[in-house]
């Protein structure tokens, strides 16, 4: 029988951290983060990284593992997450996978093989320049020509994914889509997901953006830029950092930076729900339910009883 794995997911700003900490403390669990941004050191505020006090309450894994200018790929996540889960089990504790990066979660659960092709900075630069000069649709047409199966599931507006798929093809001759669908499940999951009425979630996300600025987001981005981390880095192009970097460069006003960050967060939430709706195994929990923790514990208890 496959080993069990508890998962807590949901859209950004829905309240995963608070519930994860409560569950972990009561279950003697350790948290494995499934987040593509909290892996970066020094990037704390816009990533909504757990605070030092929260990190001290429960052991966390896959936080602060690379510098902002280092690559962190899906294979890197799979290797580190698998190792962390096994080490947690060896200690007799429960691993609790927490995060909203659906690609990471699904790849881990499916046991999906992914291309392990090293980045080619020069090729990436040429492809990005091609997109800038000819337009992203032209680069997407190139993907359709070279790897139509990948084009079927890659968002035409996602420059990074399009570039990566073409990079894999041109560097190795292997189709980025080649291993998609080839799975070897590693775990038996219980997927819990928090949800909230959409407008209420947007309002919560907007408040969190304002709180990020109050917490010193401008200063954090300035420190990163002063340390030499380019705004064009994948880490620095994430929501919050990209908008503040533009503000600090004098390209937009502070009000525009906040508005753009809020809009980008809303867009990301919609994207996350698109993925969540495809998964019939998710057990949804209302983030505003006063009995939220109790209901989550009950689902976990029933899951463990069936093992």
Q: Given pLDDT bands bounded at 50, 70 and 90, which one contains residue 229? A: very high
Can you spell out the DSSP letters for 280-301?
Answer: TT-EEEETT-TTHHHHHHHHHH
β-pairing, 188-195 vs 60-61, is: unpaired
Q: Given pLDDT bands bounded at 50, 70 and 90, which one contains residue 182? A: low
* Reduced DSSP (H G I as helix, E B as strand, rest coil) percent helix, strand, coil of the chain, to 5: 55, 10, 35
pLDDT in tens, 194-222: 999 999 999 999 999 999 999 999 999 99
Residue 265's nearest CA partner among 115, 123, 100 is 100
Report angle CA 8, 39, 84 to the nearest 5 degrees. 60
How buried is residue 291: exposed, middle or buried, by Cβ count under 10 Å (0-12/13-18/19+)?
exposed
User: Mean pLDDT, to the nearest integer, of 123-139?
Assistant: 92
Residue 99 scores a pLDDT above 90: yes
How buried is residue 145: exposed, middle or buried, by Cβ count under 10 Å (0-12/13-18/19+)?
exposed
- 113 or 80: whose pLDDT is higher? 80
- Per DSSP, the three-state class of 58 is coil
**Model confidence, pTM:** 0.84
Contact between residue 48 and residue 223 where contact means Cβ atoms under 8 Å apart: no
pLDDT of residue 82: 95
Residue 154 scores a pLDDT above 90: no
Residue 180 scores a pLDDT above 80: no
The order of strands in the sheet holding 94-98 is 60-61, 29-33, 94-98, 4-9, 188-195, 283-286
- Per DSSP, the three-state class of 255 is helix
State how far the alpha carbon of 256 is from the alpha carbons of 171, 188, 244, in Å: 39, 45, 9
Q: Which residues of 94-114 are buried (b: 16+ CB within 10 A; e: fewer)?
A: bbbbbbbbbebbebbbbebbb
Average pLDDT value for the chain: 94
pLDDT of residue 117: 77
Residue 24 scores a pLDDT above 90: yes
Residue 181 scores a pLDDT above 70: no
φ and ψ at residue 262, rounded to 5 degrees? -65, -45
User: Mean pLDDT, to the nearest integer, of 264-274?
Assistant: 96
Residue 178 scores a pLDDT above 90: no
Structure tokens at 254: 């502070």
Structure tokens at 186: 């590693």
């Amino acid at each position: 029988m496959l080993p069990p794995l508890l998962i807590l997911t949901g859209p950004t700003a829905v309240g995963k951290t608070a519930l994860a900490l409560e569950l972990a403390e009561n279950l003697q669990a350790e948290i494995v983060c499934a987040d593509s941004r909290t892996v970066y050191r020094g990037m704390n505020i816009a990533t909504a990284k757990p605070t030092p006090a929260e990190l001290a309450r429960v052991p966390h894994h896959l936080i602060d593992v690379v510098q902002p200018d280092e690559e962190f790929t899906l294979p890197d996540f799979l290797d580190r997450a698998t190792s962390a889960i096994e080490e947690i089990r060896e200690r007799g504790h429960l691993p609790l996978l927490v995060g909203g990066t659906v690609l990471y979660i699904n790849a881990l659960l499916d046991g999906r093989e992914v291309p392990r092709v090293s980045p080619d900075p020069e090729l990436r630069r040429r492809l990005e320049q091609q997109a800038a000069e000819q337009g992203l649709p032209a680069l997407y047409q190139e993907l359709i020509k070279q790897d139509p199966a990948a084009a079927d599931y890659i968002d035409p507006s996602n420059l990074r994914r399009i570039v990566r798929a073409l990079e894999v093809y041109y560097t190795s001759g292997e189709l980025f889509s080649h291993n998609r669908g080839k799975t070897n499940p590693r775990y038996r999951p219980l997927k819990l997901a928090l949800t909230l009425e959409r407008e209420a979630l947007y309002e919560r996300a907007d408040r969190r953006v304002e709180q990020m600025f109050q917490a010193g987001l401008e200063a954090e981005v300035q420190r990163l830029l002063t340390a030499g981390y380019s705004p064009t880095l994948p880490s620095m192009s994430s929501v919050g950092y990209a908008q503040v970097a533009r503000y600090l460069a004098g390209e937009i006003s502070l009000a525009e930076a906040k508005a753009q960050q809020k809009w980008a967060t809303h867009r990301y939430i919609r994207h996350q729900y698109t993925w969540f709706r495809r998964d019939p195994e998710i057990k949804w929990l209302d983030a505003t339910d006063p009995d939220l923790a109790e209901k989550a514990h009950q689902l976990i208890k029933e899951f463990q009883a069936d093992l």
